[in-house]
């Protein structure tokens, strides 16, 4: 028999279109009264849910961190007075004692009433928004890299061997040549000797030979489409970085401290702040923080051999 420590609490089973709420209320030494209600997930319906939970006198409300459906529910309910608890779905499903006919919301409420749910870390709104920006920047960079690889592939298909003599065709000199190709302009020896920089200026004859491929209109069109998309992505990356810096203006001390660590540059520091925030009280110890970030080495032994470098999986949200 699990011992109750919370008099009034609720569990939420969150779906795309509905939220099933179970409230458990009653003295700690007695079986609680249970009430189930279903709400929609439109904003006004979630506000009704919050008002109902407040009327029921709930002090804590738990939900599972499955998918993305919990996020809008959390965003609306965090404006109310009760404490929100985000449960690890894998953890709560593996706790013993659940009956086969028990609803998810009822099981969450029962665990919460007995203090058996340890909340996952959910940063405040400003940090969550900062996290959205840094993660979106990562996606943009991935897409930009994909477009660069497409251009590489088309050039190889057309037997244009720029990469043979240029380490980076997306550097300053390489972009000048790509722009010429996109614009269907002829690259001359005079242009190469005038516009190429550094050692590339002395490679002008070889560069000119490398451009003598079989570049058809089809190839130019493919390169043009990838090039234009790449220009858009790079502009979007600059905008995201500018917005991220603006949001970190009041956190310069923390940013500078992180940058002072060897191996941490400005972008890495911004990502760290976006992922863990400034409130270290959320973590029990430095080891707990390292484990949450997936940077804590595991100690796995099999057949007498140890693998000490495999990171433990991140279990928090």
- Position 202 scores a pLDDT of 80
Token pair belonging to 262: 């060897």
- Position 316 scores a pLDDT of 41
- Position 299 scores a pLDDT of 62
Interatomic CA distance for residues 215 and 40, integer angstroms: 57
Residue with tokens 């029921």: 56
Give how far Cα 53 sits from Cα of 21, 44, 148, Å.
9, 14, 52
CB 27 within 8 A of CB 113: no
- Position 310 scores a pLDDT of 44
CB 23 within 8 A of CB 106: no
Residue with tokens 């990356």: 237
In the chain, what are the domain boundaries? 8-120, 126-247, 285-317
Residues 143, 145, 151, 154: is their CA dihedral positive or negative?
negative
- Position 40 scores a pLDDT of 96
The DSSP secondary structure of 237-303, one letter per residue, reads HHHHHHHHHHHTGGGHHHHHHHHTSTT--HHHHHHHHHHH-S-GGGSSSHHHHHHHTT-SBP-EEET
Question: DSSP assignment, residue 36?
Answer: E
Interatomic CA distance for residues 110 and 54, integer angstroms: 18
Residue with tokens 């000797």: 193
Count Cα neighbours of 1 within 13 Å in the Cβ-side half-sphere. 6
Give how far Cα 288 sits from Cα of 118, 267, 310, Å.
14, 24, 16
- Position 92 scores a pLDDT of 81
Class for the domain spanning 8-120: alpha beta
Rounded (10°) CA dihedral 205, 209, 215, 219: -60
Interatomic CA distance for residues 93 and 80, integer angstroms: 27
Which residue positions in the chain have pLDDT lower than 50? Answer: 308-317
CB 105 within 8 A of CB 73: no
Residues in the chain, total: 317
Q: What pTM was computed for the model?
A: 0.80
Question: DSSP assignment, residue 120?
Answer: P
Give how far Cα 206 sits from Cα of 16, 70, 180, 186, 199, Å.
60, 59, 17, 16, 12
The residues pairing with 206 across neighbouring beta strands, listed in sequence order, are none
Q: Which residues contact 30 (CB under 8 A, 6 or more apart)?
A: none
234-261 residue pLDDT tens: 999 999 999 999 999 999 999 999 999 9
């Amino acid at each position: 028999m699990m011992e109750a420590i919370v008099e009034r609490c609720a569990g939420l089973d969150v779906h795309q279109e509905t939220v099933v709420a179970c409230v458990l209320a009653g003295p700690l030494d007695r079986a609680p009264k249970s009430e189930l209600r279903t709400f929609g997930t439109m904003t006004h319906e979630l506000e009704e849910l919050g008002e109902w939970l407040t009327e029921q006198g709930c002090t804590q409300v738990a939900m599972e961190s499955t998918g993305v459906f919990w996020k809008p529910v959390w965003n609306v309910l965090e404006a109310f007075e009760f404490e929100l608890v985000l449960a690890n779905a894998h953890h709560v499903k593996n706790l013993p004692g659940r009956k086969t006919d028990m609803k998810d919301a009822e099981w969450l409420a029962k665990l919460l009433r007995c203090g058996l749910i340890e909340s996952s870390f959910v940063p405040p709104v400003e940090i969550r928004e900062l996290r959205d920006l840094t993660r979106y920047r990562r996606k943009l960079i991935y897409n930009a890299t994909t477009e660069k690889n497409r251009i590489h592939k088309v050039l190889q298909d057309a037997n244009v061997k720029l990469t043979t003599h240029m380490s980076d065709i997306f550097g300053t000199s390489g972009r000048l040549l790509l722009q010429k190709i996109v614009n269907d302009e002829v690259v001359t020896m005079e242009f190469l000797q005038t516009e190429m920089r550094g050692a590339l200026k002395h490679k002008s004859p070889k560069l000119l030979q490398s451009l003598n491929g079989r570049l058809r209109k089809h190839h130019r069109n493919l390169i043009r489409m990838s090039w234009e998309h790449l220009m858009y992505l790079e502009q979007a990356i600059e905008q995201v970085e500018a917005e991220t810096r603006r949001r970190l203006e009041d956190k310069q001390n923390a940013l500078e401290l992180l940058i002072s660590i060897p191996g941490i540059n400005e972008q890495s520091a911004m990502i760290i702040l976006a992922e863990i925030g400034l409130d270290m009280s959320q973590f029990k110890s430095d080891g707990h923080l390292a484990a949450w970030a997936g940077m804590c080495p595991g100690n796995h032994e099999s057949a007498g051999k140890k693998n000490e470098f495999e990171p433990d999986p991140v279990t928090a949200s």
